[in-house]
Amino acid sequence: MLDYASLRAVAAVVQTGSFEKAARRLNVTPSAVSQRVKALEERLGTALVVRSTPCTATEKGAWLCRHMETVGMLESELLTHLPALVDPLSPDDRVTLPIATNADSLATWFLGAISTFSKGSRHLLNIAVDDQDHTAEWLQQGRVIAAVTSLEKPVSGCRRTPLGALRYRATASPDFVERYLADGMTLAAFSQAPSLTFNQKDRLQSRWLRDTLGAEPACPTHWLPSTQSFVEASLAGMGWGMNPEMLVEAHLANGRLVELVPDTPLDVPLFWQINRLAADQLTALTRAVVDVAHKALRLPA
């Protein structure tokens, strides 16, 4: 039999980051939490918690925490139908759902979806941000139960729902275009014009150059890991970048930004993938994500 008191102690330490905060959440002493974690580690013969500031999970500890998240969802559903099972003296242990999304979705439409879900659910959310081409890896590794991803192929053990396409425009300020691209949008010009890149995983600028110019020049770049800062840097004339259309429509309309090559958008299809074991318990989350996405994103013709 699994020792759920010890499993809850491990999960609480990892979620709160300390034994003291975990003790307050579980309504026990820090010594009791420490003893439960240590006893489970000795039983399994492996460390589950890295004693640091904050405390974090080892690989084995992370697997146990994900198990507790699944158990918590199932218990929550059960208690909804059988409220008499609730122990009034037990701590109010709310489930935290780990979800991955890309930064541009979080900055444009995804926050509206999860806020809608949170208003009707007791679950808490832990949002991880990564490139849309890489969030599926979080699912494959079991680090999250759901993700917004550009991967069309279903991740093993997950359900996939098309969301639509997030449209990007290659934009810069008029003075930037005058400084670097006044003689035309040529490969030689782009090899001198600084671009904006989110991080090493960001390939949007390269994709647009290949689609539009047929080649990918070696562009100088500023590294700027912030969606909002991308827009601000474009407005300030720092560089050119692929900005979500939703964030730059007004700036394009008033002339503060210009599209480098008119009518050359880059559409990135997005998908919602959710672990099958959690999907039935989280239909409200999927519904909120799909509803908001279908209103905000470009739907297939």
The 10s digit of each residue's pLDDT in 148-202 is 999 999 999 999 999 999 999 999 999 999 999 999 999 999 999 999 999 988 8
Say if CB 198 and CB 230 are below 8 A apart: yes
Both 78 and 106 in one domain: the answer is no
Residue 165 lies in a domain: yes
Which of the listed residues 37, 53, 85 is the one where a domain comes to its end?
A: 85
Both 52 and 188 in one domain: the answer is no
Helix axis angle for 4-16 and 30-44, nearest 10°, is 110
| pLDDT for the residue numbered 226 | 94
Which residues in the chain show pLDDT less than 50?
A: none
Both 141 and 20 in one domain: the answer is no
| Cβ count within 10 A of residue 3 | 12
Both 71 and 107 in one domain: the answer is no
Return the closest-CA partner of residue 198 out of 250, 233, 236, 160.
Answer: 233
Looking at residue 292, its amino acid is V
pLDDT in tens, 203-218: 999 999 999 999 888 8
Both 53 and 72 in one domain: the answer is yes
Pairing mode, if any, of strands 221-223 and 195-197?
parallel
Say if CB 229 and CB 235 are below 8 A apart: no
Both 133 and 79 in one domain: the answer is no
For position 36, which CATH number holds? 1.10.10.10
Both 77 and 179 in one domain: the answer is no
| pLDDT for the residue numbered 18 | 93
Residue 18 lies in a domain: yes
Return the closest-CA partner of residue 271 out of 168, 135, 125.
Answer: 135
| pLDDT for the residue numbered 247 | 97
Residue 70 lies in a domain: yes
For position 117, which CATH number holds? 3.40.190.290
Both 143 and 289 in one domain: the answer is yes
| pLDDT for the residue numbered 142 | 82
| pLDDT for the residue numbered 62 | 85
**Number of folded domains that form the chain:** 2
| pLDDT for the residue numbered 96 | 86
Both 141 and 74 in one domain: the answer is no
Which of the listed residues 85, 113, 138 is the one where a domain comes to its end?
A: 85
Both 126 and 32 in one domain: the answer is no
Residue 90 lies in a domain: no
Q: Which domain holds residue 77?
A: 4-85
pTM equals 0.80
Which bin fits 202, alpha (ψ -120 to 50), beta or left (φ > 0)?
beta
Residue 62 lies in a domain: yes
Which of the listed residues 85, 114, 134 is the one where a domain comes to its end?
A: 85
Both 230 and 251 in one domain: the answer is yes
Calculated CA dihedral for residues 150, 152, 156, 161, nearest 10 degrees:
90
Both 18 and 55 in one domain: the answer is yes
Q: Where are the beta strands (DSSP E) in the chain?
A: 49-50, 56-57, 96-101, 124-129, 146-149, 158-172, 195-197, 221-223, 241-244, 258-259, 266-275
SS3 256: coil
